[in-house]
Amino acid sequence: MVLQRRLEYGFDGYQVPVVPRASRSVRGRGPIRKKCDGNQIRAFEILACVAGNILQESESSVQSNAAGVKDQNHIFYTNSKGGREDEGRSIKKDPCEGGNFDEKSFACVPGFKGHHKSYKLNEFCQAHDNISHKVGSASNAYDHSEVTCSAKKLATISRKNNCGYSSSRVVGGPPYFGDFYEGKVGGILESKLEDGPYRSRSGRDQSLTVAGSSEDQMELDREPLALVDSESDVKVTLSRDRVNFVPFPRHCDNIKVVSRDDDENSVGCTQTSTITKAYRSPPDIQQRRMKKLFPSRHWRKSQKLKDGKKKPIYCNGRNFRIDERSQNIYPFKKRKFFNQSPIPASDGGLHHEGVINFPNKRINGDNCSAAFGASSSVASQQVPHESKGCDVKLSIKSFKVPELFIEIPATATVGSLKRTVMEAVTAVLGDGLHVGILLQGKEIRDDNKSLLQTGISQVQKRHSLGFILEPGHTQITPPACTERPSMVSGGKPRSLSRHLAPLTLQLGASYASPGRQLLNSGGSVERDLNIVPSLADSSTGNAMPETQALVAVPATSMEPLAVVPFDQKSHPEFVRRRIRRPFSVSEVEALVQAVEKLGTGRWRDVKLRAFDSAKHRTYVDLKDKWKTLVHTARISPHQRRGEPVPQELLDRVLAAHAYWSQHQARQQLKTAEAVCS
DNA sequence: TTTAGGG
DNA sequence: CCCTAAA
């Protein structure tokens, strides 16, 4: 074990040295900049494989969800092996971070003015628990759905860690009190230093970089554990005479972030947990939340194309989101979408070498022709005749999107064909999908009729009930990006189709098909999933039963509609406001810790150091958060809102802020002097 | 791309 | 959180 040492320094009166920024060479690495590329276009057909039965008990939907968990677990696990680089990295990384909990917990952390703080221990334990729970329940969250899948790895790594294979320890609080880092790397590298921006020192930023040649390299950067294990050569690059080896804080911070996300954001691909959770959510709360999330100004409507046709809705490149009230479908930022989509957005854009026609496109509710959408098949159903209130549970085996006709020159490349098809899909999906219901070949249009009235609930034969996907603009206002929710369905009360539509899209959003690359996305998925139950919750009247029955469906894996690539660049006007994700206390802790060490002018480094794996936290976010933290610390406690931040943290915020402000002033003074002389 | 600040 | 001028 590494010797635990403590160095305490006061910072008053210290002449703080220039702290140069970290080498920009680090830029360009790291997950943030990673993008997926070279993926393939997915099939057009949407598979909604749900073993279907009609059940009378709403309870059954829960079971259905439970089944979904299993699937997902499996999927996650499978995917975790498939390993594109970023995924693999994440998967490995998080567990490693988990492994670091202990170390961090044991780290002796001098508090302000040299007082030791023990509160951290609890915090980290908590974080650890959260992780464990996550792994166990598969209810991953946050950008790190991978965490869920890597229990195995976690165990392995933890073991290594415990064996003291690798040990690095951070002993120290704010730099102004002196830090003591000791990194030991499998006997290959051992370095230690006592340094920190707050302390007087001759050097500038010193850094130690360890690079491995294995494919784990990405994590080597930050993972002492991986480092140790790696048989690859270890290169040590030292700038200046000292070494600054600080492998831990980042992980620890990250961990906190993860656990926090789990708790509060439930961002995840685990539909089960989300759904379950959402069932508990009061509809009004959901609605309020949604309202906040979608300021109208962010929902500019899609522009019209020259030919008067509406532009493909940008949702194509994102996940769909459905407002439980208007049932508008909202897109998610592509950034998140990328995490799930195998399709590169930077595919060079869509080419238009082919002519696409939609001969059967419906207009204003015209008949849905056969060409337009093969109906789905309903696996089986059963009818609870006896009571009106009975739930009707439907299993939709598959959906087919409208048939597309593509004309493309024989000389066109396969790639362009793909793009053309994709464009066609985009055009259709983009306009918003509408679900039609075919009962024995006949489409049911009256959305106000109950299932009983229409006879849907009495259908016994397979195939007698079908669902079709139609371009949404025919009957429903283009779902996404509209600011006129009232237009949807002409303001009619909730109806069957209105509930079904979201379902369709939901399928896409909940997407989790085996053999697929990891889903993981920072929160978007979760939100999507949250919506569905809230739909049920907020629905009124007898539409409720169907809705609930359908809500259970997403638990299974299906091909998402949302996985249609979309070139966001061509639709810049659709950039949506990000989901608000309040900082948790542990995130604040991580931030404070990082800022204490790095200062307030190096947000990128702060990000890299403490939030590297928190994709949803940008350096701008961190900067903003710091700003608000400082503000929060200055106002009286009763004026503060949101999750209360421990006073201790706020004190540190003020201290660090004061320190670095002064530091900055000094720097400016120095610079000025230098210029003058 | 980052930083720094206003909104 | 967003937007953006500046660097």
Of A574, A600, A619, the position where a domain reaches its end is A574
- Positions of chain B reached by protein Cβ under 7 A: 1-7
Question: Rounded to whole angstroms, what are the CA distances from A419 to A337, A413, A470?
Answer: 18, 10, 21
Residue A30 lies in a domain: no
Residue A39 lies in a domain: no
> Distance (Å) from CA A663 to C1' B4?
16
Contact A271, A137 (CB under 8 A): no
- Asked if A513 and A410 sit in the same domain, the reply is yes
> Distance (Å) from CA A612 to C1' C7?
24
Instruction: Answer whether residue A34 shows pLDDT above 90.
Output: no
Residue A593: pLDDT band (50, 70, 90) is very high
- Asked if A564 and A603 sit in the same domain, the reply is no
Instruction: Answer whether residue A609 shows pLDDT above 50.
Output: yes
Helices (H) and strands (E) in chain A, counts: 20, 14
- Asked if A530 and A553 sit in the same domain, the reply is yes
Domain holding A521, by residue range, is 280-574
3-state DSSP assignment of residue A170:
strand
Of A543, A574, A605, the position where a domain reaches its end is A574
- Asked if A569 and A600 sit in the same domain, the reply is no
- Asked if A508 and A602 sit in the same domain, the reply is no
pLDDT one-digit tens code per residue, A209-242: 222 232 233 332 333 222 222 222 222 222 332 3
> Distance (Å) from CA A580 to C1' B3?
23
- The runs of H, that is alpha helices, within A40-109 are 59-82, 85-106
Does residue A600 reach within 7 angstroms of strand B, measured from its CB? yes
| Total number of domains in chain A | 2
Contact A492, A540 (CB under 8 A): no
Buried b (16+ CB within 10 A) or exposed e, A83-119: ebebbbbbbbbbbbbbbbbebbbebbbbbbeeeeeee
> Distance (Å) from CA A624 to C1' B5?
10
Match 């299974």 to its residue by tokens.
Answer: A556
Q: Compute and round to an integer the Cα radius of gyration of chain A.
A: 27
- Asked if A321 and A461 sit in the same domain, the reply is yes
Residue A437 lies in a domain: yes
Nearest Cα neighbor of A8 from A108, A135, A128, A140 is A108
- Asked if A418 and A526 sit in the same domain, the reply is yes
> Distance (Å) from CA A87 to C1' B4?
33
Confidence (pLDDT) at A511: 27
Instruction: Answer whether residue A406 shows pLDDT above 90.
Output: no
Residue A575: pLDDT band (50, 70, 90) is confident
Does residue A657 reach within 7 angstroms of strand B, measured from its CB? no
Q: Which two tokens stand for residue A356?
A: 């696409």
pLDDT one-digit tens code per residue, A280-302: 333 333 444 443 334 333 333 33
Residue A84 lies in a domain: no
Residue A126 lies in a domain: no
> Distance (Å) from CA A603 to C1' B5?
14
Q: Which residues pair with A465 in a beta bridge?
A: A439
- Asked if A424 and A541 sit in the same domain, the reply is yes
Highest mean pLDDT among A38-52, A156-170, A264-278, A663-677: A663-677
Residue A37 lies in a domain: no
Confidence (pLDDT) at A336: 32
A551 or A17, higher pLDDT? A17
Does residue A601 reach within 7 angstroms of strand B, measured from its CB? yes
- Positions of chain C reached by protein Cβ under 7 A: 1-4
Instruction: Answer whether residue A415 shows pLDDT above 60.
Output: yes
Q: What is the CATH number of the domain that holds A663?
A: 1.10.246.220
- Asked if A395 and A336 sit in the same domain, the reply is yes
Other CB atoms within a 10 A radius of the CB of residue A417 amount to 17
Contact A355, A26 (CB under 8 A): no
CA distance A551 to A398: 16
Residues 6+ apart with CB under 8 A from A576: A294, A298, A299, A330, A331, A332, A333
Confidence (pLDDT) at A576: 79
Residue A245 lies in a domain: no
- Asked if A596 and A569 sit in the same domain, the reply is no
- Name the closest residue (CA) to the C1' of nucleotide B6: A624
- Asked if A403 and A325 sit in the same domain, the reply is yes
Confidence (pLDDT) at A451: 65
Beta strands across the sheet bearing A166-172? A166-172, A179-185, A189-193
Longest dimension (CA), chain A: 95
3-state DSSP assignment of residue A47:
strand
Give percent above pLDDT 90 in chain A.
12
Identify the helix (H) or strand (E) that includes residue A364. Answer: none
Residue A12 lies in a domain: no
- Asked if A427 and A317 sit in the same domain, the reply is yes
Does residue A33 reach within 7 angstroms of strand B, measured from its CB? yes
Instruction: Answer whether residue A421 shows pLDDT above 50.
Output: yes
> Distance (Å) from CA A493 to C1' B1?
49
